[in-house]
Amino acid sequence: MFSGHQPWCIVTDAFGVKRMPKYLRFRVELMSISPRISRTFLIGTGASFAELHDAIQTAGPWASEHSYYFGRPKEGRPLIEPDGDDMSAGVLVAESCPVLAFFRNPQNSTAIYVYDLGGCWKHSVTLEAQTVERDRFKRRLIAGTRAFPKEGMNGISEYRECVAIAQGKASDTARTRNRLRWLRGWDPEFFDLEIQRESFDRR
């Protein structure tokens, strides 16, 4: 499906031949959370998995304070991680592994991205399409829904507790008041594309 790609596509318009850059459109969705939390963005076809990781972190935004890895949905083990390079275990280095080396295989249309091995935040990462754009850029955020969990939340159960606290649905206890101060205005329903693009988009 994605074999034989080149980073540039030759097209002809009324002004002659133009070189137009190609991009990969990814949709990232946090698993086990409803309503869904998602981000959709474009990155260059030559991006590495380390660059894909950075895009997910910035799109969230997360703060890249914890370890991560990429794998296949049903296998539950790392295939690509920073400083992996364990060929005997089949683990590749994220910085040197191009995303197309994985996603050009039709069986790998979706990967699992796990961030913070303690909190175990699992994301589905789906390559939706390869597109051609007239503009040249490194990456661009194009859509999203709801706020990512605040960095430091320790998994789904704590996330749900924080949602209840942020929405005023938790009992008034010392823990609730402490958590509310820590959340500092975090709103689980908030997403503003233009605000997020200011930090995400790169020319």
Q: Over its length of 203 residues, how does the chain's per-residue pLDDT go in tens digits?
A: 333 333 333 334 444 445 688 999 999 999 999 999 999 999 999 999 999 999 999 999 999 999 999 999 888 789 999 986 565 567 889 999 999 989 988 888 899 999 998 889 999 999 999 999 988 999 999 999 999 999 999 999 999 999 999 999 999 999 999 999 999 989 999 999 999 999 999 99
Comparing CA positions, the residue from 125, 143, 150 lying closest to residue 68 is 125
Q: Which residues contact residue 35 at a Cβ distance below 8 angstroms, ignoring those fewer than 6 apart?
A: 145, 146
User: What domains does the chain contain, in order, with CATH numbers?
Assistant: 8-147+190-200 (3.10.290.30), 151-187 (no CATH)
Comparing CA positions, the residue from 105, 84, 109 lying closest to residue 96 is 84
pLDDT at 18: 59
Distance between CA atoms of residues 203 and 193, nearest Å = 17
Q: What is the pTM of this model?
A: 0.86
Taking CB atoms within 8 Å and a gap of at least 24, the contacts of 1-6 are 1/104, 1/106, 2/100, 2/103, 2/104, 2/127, 2/130, 3/104, 5/45, 5/100, 5/104, 5/130
pLDDT at 87: 55
pLDDT at 2: 37
| DSSP annotation of 24 | E
pLDDT at 173: 93
pLDDT at 86: 60
pLDDT at 88: 55
pLDDT at 27: 98
Comparing CA positions, the residue from 37, 36, 35 lying closest to residue 56 is 37
- Tell me the two tokens of residue 65: 């304070």
φ/ψ of residue 188, rounded to 5: -65, -20
Distance between CA atoms of residues 116 and 155, nearest Å = 9
